[in-house]
Structure 1
Amino acid sequence: MTALEGVKIAAGEEVPLFARVRNSMRIISLDPSSEERRLAYVVKIILYDLGKVKKEEILALQDYPRRGIYDVTFIEEKSFLRFLKVMEEKKNEDRLVGFKVLPHFDQEEVVLVVKTYSPVLPLKEITAVLSQYCKRLKFGGKIWNEHGLWTSKYKFSAWFLEKKMPPARVRMGKVNIDVFFSGMPVFCRKCRSYGHVADTCEACKFCGESEHEEKNCTSPKKCNFCFETGHLYAACPVRKQKMEVVKQDVETEEEVRKVDVMERIDDETVENMDASIDIVSPERVSEKGKIGKRIVVKKEEKKQESKE
């Protein structure tokens, strides 16, 4: 098992999006009232003794003792990955009985930012294309600028199929979409392959062959969805089938609502807000300590966050 495989997160145990911080672990005591399960035990036994963590490796430890939650953020990724691996190897240790230890982020999860050059392009079209490259795809909302205006960008959480990544640019009929994610390799917008750029590409953008120039290509055009010949994107039978099932696999626009949050929130939300990767919208903090935030959330996700 590699460090990147890490601790598996069971359903319902995910750290809420607003509280997620990079290189961080959440330690949960199942019995917060027990004196033996409080901060001293977490630091001395779980971190120092079992995890072999050194004090200077820790950036911060945020504790919420009444809820039995302890969030540990490491200074460097290598320290985080080492602790992650140790916790997986020692998950059956007696000293971990009564605790759950999990990373803030699923290590296979990739955050995608998708820009559509046509703001009227249906969201289900985008999810149908992206889902071809993902074993799981979760819609994260629209991305807003500091003026509260939509930027024609969406955010997704994606779990890629093995050895597959979505192209950085997709031609959907007459509309282009661009896909961005952390760590993506260089991409050729001409032949739609990773590893080089268009300036050095000698392949024909229509057929992929390098023996002729594009103006001399006699091959039939390929569909930009299934990459087969005989039809184009709009008439693609595979696309039509995918569109029928996409609502079952991915949260769509109808399941998302925009809300204004103007209420006092708990310490965990305030302290983690700036460090969160949630880029859906900016926050505004008033003098009274209330947070005004325009966000896009799923109804089910909002309910889960309120329970946290």
Structure 2
Amino acid sequence: MKPSRRHVLALALSAIAACAAAPAAAQGYPSKPITLVVAYPAGGDTDALARLFGEKLSSRVSQPVVVDNKPGASGVIGSSFVARAPADGYTLLLAPSTFSIAQLVLKPGSAGYDVLNGFTPIIETGTLPLVLVASSGAGMKTFKDVAAAAKSGPLSYASPGSGSPMHILGELVNKAAGIDLRHVPYRGVAPAVNDVLGGHVPLTYITLGPVAPYLPAGKMVPLAVADSKRSPLAPNVPTFEELGYKGLQVGAWHGLFGPKGMPADIVKTLNAHFNEILKMPDVVARMETLGAIPLGGSPETLAKTNAADYERLGKVIKDLGIQAD
């Protein structure tokens, strides 16, 4: 049956109203509390950053931002929770770079989210250079000392966990330098740092934040940075590339994601807020104590970083047979 003119007009008005409603809804965002999920226990650097960002975002949008810790399975549990949440901007994920590779190092069947297509990238909040550090009692002042010691007898290094970026870097260094440092995995940053401080393990691959308090007094000695250039947080520490080892650029980062399909206007709003937050002097100072360098930029920057890590480190994980415990 041919629709009446009145019916056609009603449909047209409905379509226009629907189109107008979407931007209006985005403009009214947020109208209730936002949940910021951290897929790791309270007390770590991701949790500290989430609470810092949450406080700043809350004051800007006049709504509470609640940090919700959902640890387990190398972050897969919390990340999967966000992937399944409504894509309305009220459930977000602050993820470290393990987000990109966690499922690649877990046993088959542990996967719970689509790394590349299951989320909406919002902003890369910062980067964290990885550094090789020795205990003061190890007697190693340079990476040359490490290589020599490794070739003369057994030597080990600590990491915050099997399959972590630090573990991956350690195995890449072993291959590049032709040495065989034995991996000692810990359940987190704090116990790894404590055992190196105590002299139980001579070396660790770590971010700068957790070891920064021990460097000025010489309790721990930074030997090399795994970046393309020296870190502004440790300008006197050479890069592996400077020392003659190519391809050892493995960094860490944090990024803000939402569920797949978030409205573009909400993404734009959050991205703008975070770009401003990352310029605040107190935020920059706090991030520095955590070993992080503020980044910011467009959602595309985070998407590219995530995809690059998934591809490059995924190949390393497969080639070297790296697995989580």
TM over 0.5: no
**TM class, shorter-chain normalised?**
under 0.3
Answer 1 or 2: higher relative contact order, Cα 8 Å, separation at least 6.
2
Q: Which protein is richer in helix relative to its size? A: 2
Superposition TM-score, scaled by structure 2 size: 0.26
Q: Which protein is richer in strand relative to its size? A: 1
